[in-house]
Structure 1
Amino acid sequence: MTALTEVPPPPAGAPTAQPGAAVEARPRMTRRQQLILVVLLGSQFMMSVDFSILNVALPTIGEGLGFSLGNLQWIGTAMMLPAAGLTLLFGRIADLAGRRRLFLAGMVLLGAGSLAGGLATSPSVLLAARVVQGLATALATPAALALLTTSFPEGPLRDRALGLNGTLLSTGFTLGAVFGGTLTSLLSWRWAFFINVPVAVVMVLAVPRVIAESRGERTRLDLPGAATVTGGLFALVFGVSSAGRYGWTAPGTMAALAAAAALLLAFWRIELRAAAPLVPMRVLTLRTVSWGNVGGLITFTMESSVIFLATLYLQDVLGYSPIATGFAFAAMGVAAFAGGLAAPRVIGRLGSRTALWLGLLVQGLATVPLLAMDAHTSGLVLFLAASSVGAFGHIGAVVSYMVTATSGLPDSEQGLASGLASMTQQVGITVGIPVISAIATARIDSAHDTLTGIRTGLLVDACVVLLGAALVFVFLNRTARTSHR
């Protein structure tokens, strides 16, 4: 039998629960957590803007500094190589040496590199400044994400913080085109660099007053693993970037990709035997980590490709100016912001794993209507509508992969988890454009029609995203039958 216990009545004047009222109050951020969020999100937004702010200004920079048309791509690649190649290593170093320390070092380098870039008078100085900016991104991005995840307990508060983080990352990447076009047209391309300097100074002054130092347990750094994974990522990014310029069968491209495969295979073998591995295999075998990052890689790779193809469409097909092209992306920025606000609620209701494949599904399906874009004004209307829906789904996927890939791990490994998630983001942004660009360019050359090449690239983009949604649905959700997270 079940014993019955008499429950005493509530004290006089105490509020009584109403039918349907929530049993548990929604957790609220403390004042300190709000300050931490503002500081870290500000830095992430600045760094994401930095990735795309120069895209629409490249022709102007080329004319001003004497870059040849074929060498313009190195303005982007010079930053992307260290950003993608060193992020995982610095994410792990942040666990050992201190996340706040590496974040501040990244901000100092970002300010210095931006100042040098704005003052550059030759291609070599500008490229060196971009390398410094990439190094700063590799230092600061995983450290900032680790500080964010360790400042909020796993659950609704962390989901909300990561939702805002994902919103500003992708919104910044989209709005970078708006800022770049505006600054280039109204002032000078140099202000695309100078704008970072005061923000970096504010970060360096504010962070020590707001955020405490955070680190994991002291241990030896796995130098052989660090060398092979860094070299492998450098070779991969260089090889894919070279393929976009010289083709996949060019000797330099094939040599770089072969070196990448050999080094990454060596990294895997080293980690299996290392006493203190850079990336413990038990972490990579977690489906939340592995498939969460696969989903993140797909969404970043293909969305950056859509933005590239859209820029080509707006400028080369419709004949828009840089500033008009920038403002055409504003609708995507608004949709991305709305998607970031909605993502934590979707995750809370459906779980991050389900939200991940749903975000990919929306992103992929929204790319399909873009295949009908034409050379008339009606094509612009179609672009604005479909790309906005795609941006909404993209942000949902970004937030979901970040929540998924950093959940279930102790604070001592959050730098590693954040490094993996940040590496996924940087590699995705880096390799997507060269791959899809090569596909689109090959079609343009054979058909002598820019619009045909753009449509071919968009078709491949949509197929990859939809296939990714299916794979994530099948493999990641096997572990989520009984849990929303």
Structure 2
Amino acid sequence: MTNEPVEHRSPARATLAISCAATLLVLINFTTPIPTVQVLAKALGSGPSGQTWILGSISIGLAACLMVAGTLADDHGRKRIFTAGGTLLVLASAVCALAPTTAVFVVGRVVQGGASAALLASSLGLLGHAFPPGPERARATGLWGAMVGGGIAIGPVYSALLIKVAPWQTAYWIIAAVSALVTLWGLASLTESRAEQRRRFDAGGVVTVAAGVSLLIAALIEGRGGWTQPHVLAFLVAALVLLAGFVWIEKRAADPMLDLQLLRRPAFVASAVGALVTGIGVIGFMTYIPISAQKVLGMSPLQSALVLAIWSGLSFVAAPQARRMVGRVGDRQQVAAGLAVCGVGELALIGIDSASPWWQFVPGMALAGIGSGVVNAALAGLAVRSVPAHRVAMGSAAGNASRYLGSSIGVALMAAILALSPRGGGPAHEMSVGMNYAGVVAGALAVLGAVLVALCRERPRPRHAVEVPGELELERSA
């Protein structure tokens, strides 16, 4: 029990509640189209490529804007970026609800991604400022991580239930309304925080990273139709040039958006690698579980959403419990262990076909859910402590950018594997074989990620080391 006065704890509790509500909303919105993508595609006249854009477009806004949003939050005010993100989410959700074509809907989802980036980066930054290192911060980041699993659990079920009684547009009108309420709550209750010294705006870094990541994800989405298509190759080359330019600019900038010296920090590398592998090997694979359940077992969108909820629901339950391991098992070790459990769970899903009972999903989804919950909670704490206190929003943004870039890579990778599965035997057989291959790849990637994170060992600081301004605070928080 903390001895901090009640009047000091109340703002921190309000910050925790608002940050968790915003994160839950972002993940509900992120996963809303997953079980209903075929309904949306039919209503909007989308082809196979359009369906992929419906699923993946929000990741462009998220991955491209997260580090930008984190930097702006640290330098110009985390509450200010939070409310701007919430307002933008209201407007973008309305665009999705009013969309007459696939192109307009995709634009709305990209903007939703940018708004979500502002909410995610600023909310975890607000938590890092409100809660000092220790058990209270572990509890706060554990609850924040639980909202990731909770949103993934609720989003598909929410949209699958709603589409039974209302047009698909209703889901996005409700998201707009709830976004407005959360934004007003934040405006009334959050306390502003920012770095004591404002850094110069890194315009070159902002442009190159946003454009480079956007083109990379666009190439991954379009690559499903063939990796040798001229426009896909052009996107990939342009993305690589821009991202190389970003690294060149950051090395020379007086106030870089991403301090590349952080890559020498094992905790920061572990956070980025863990988040990237979570996106590729876990989220990418799980995105196709509802589609697989519908095509292989003939489930309805609601039934397939409930199958996915076995994974995401247990993730929601497990994340807050991870704080009980603080002091006995470090956050880096928790990430490694959680990824390993995810990998075992995904491998346990191999062998499901049209003759399988629905409950054959349960053991693998349950293991992957428990592992994901531990990973989500530990990654949140690791991202905050791996950077100096005045850069907490940027640290959270870098970790989340890795996660959503990874999810885009994962979705494209799983789509490519499914496309390569042997033809013949009917759609159900082709999907089951493809998902078995995908399960092997995803499980192996998760286990490999666990090994890589475990190898990011942190060395104790020598007593005679010279204290460098900006690094001392980082070492103490670590």
Same fold (TM over 0.5): yes
Question: Which residue of 1 is the match for residue 314 of structure 2?
Answer: 335
Task: Indicate whether 1:231 and 2:211 are aligned.
Answer: yes
Cα pair 1:444 1:450 within 8 Å, conserved = no
Distance in structure 2 (CA, Å) of the matches to 1:315 and 1:391: 20
| Count of aligned residue pairs for this structure pair | 458
Task: Indicate whether 1:420 and 2:398 are aligned.
Answer: yes
Task: Indicate whether 1:167 and 2:146 are aligned.
Answer: yes
Change (3 A) 1:408 1:461: closer
Distance in structure 1 (CA, Å) of the matches to 2:432 and 2:277: 24
Uncovered stretches (5+) of structure 2, i.e. residues with no partner: 463-474
Letter matched to residue 453 of structure 1:
G
Question: Which residue of 2 is the match for residue 363 of structure 1?
Answer: 342
Task: Indicate whether 1:471 and 2:449 are aligned.
Answer: no
Describe how 1:252-291 pairs up with structure 2 within 5 A: 252-291=231-270
Cα pair 2:270 2:332 within 8 Å, conserved = no
Question: Which residue of 1 is the match for residue 230 of structure 2?
Answer: 251
Cα pair 1:67 1:123 within 8 Å, conserved = yes
Cα pair 1:56 1:181 within 8 Å, conserved = yes
Deviations 1:154-208 (A, max 9, x none): 1211111111111111221233111111111232211220121221121222112
Change (3 A) 1:156 1:126: same
Deviations 1:201-222 (A, max 9, x none): 2122211221111111212111
**Cα offset for 1:260?**
1.9
Query: Does the residue aligned with 2:199 lie in a helix, a strand or coil?
Result: coil
TM-score, with structure 1 as normaliser: 0.89
Change (3 A) 1:341 1:422: same
Letter matched to residue 96 of structure 2:
G
Deviations 1:311-361 (A, max 9, x none): 232111001111111122232233112211221112332111111111111
Question: Which residue of 2 is the match for residue 430 of structure 1?
Answer: 408
Question: Which residue of 1 is the match for residue 333 of structure 2?
Answer: 354
Q: Which residue of 367, 372, 390 maps to 1:389?
A: 367
Change (3 A) 1:480 1:49: farther
Change (3 A) 1:333 1:125: same
Change (3 A) 1:31 1:267: same
Distance in structure 2 (CA, Å) of the matches to 1:132 and 1:271: 26
Q: Which residue of 45, 63, 83 maps to 1:84?
A: 63
Cα pair 1:115 1:193 within 8 Å, conserved = yes
Pick the structure with greater CA Rg: 1
Letter matched to residue 467 of structure 1:
L
Deviations 1:17-37 (A, max 9, x none): xxxxxxxx5678823322221
Task: Indicate whether 1:219 and 2:199 are aligned.
Answer: yes
Q: Which residue of 191, 213, 229 maps to 2:170?
A: 191
Distance in structure 1 (CA, Å) of the matches to 2:239 and 2:393: 24
Cα pair 1:117 1:126 within 8 Å, conserved = yes
Distance in structure 2 (CA, Å) of the matches to 1:418 and 1:478: 19
Distance in structure 1 (CA, Å) of the matches to 2:251 and 2:49: 42
Task: Indicate whether 1:302 and 2:245 are aligned.
Answer: no
The worse-fitting range, judged by mean Cα deviation, of 119-128 and 177-186 is 119-128
Q: Percent identity?
A: 27
**Cα offset for 1:52?**
0.9
Query: Does the residue aligned with 2:421 lie in a helix, a strand or coil?
Result: helix
Cα pair 1:27 1:156 within 8 Å, conserved = no
Question: Which residue of 1 is the match for residue 441 of structure 2?
Answer: 460
Query: Does the residue aligned with 2:46 lie in a helix, a strand or coil?
Result: coil
**Cα offset for 1:459?**
0.4
Question: Which residue of 2 is the match for residue 14 of structure 1?
Answer: none
**Cα offset for 1:306?**
2.6
Question: Which residue of 1 is the match for residue 465 of structure 2?
Answer: none
**Cα offset for 1:444?**
4.2
RMSD: 2.2
**Cα offset for 1:130?**
1.9
Task: Indicate whether 1:400 and 2:399 are aligned.
Answer: no
Distance in structure 2 (CA, Å) of the matches to 1:100 and 1:478: 33
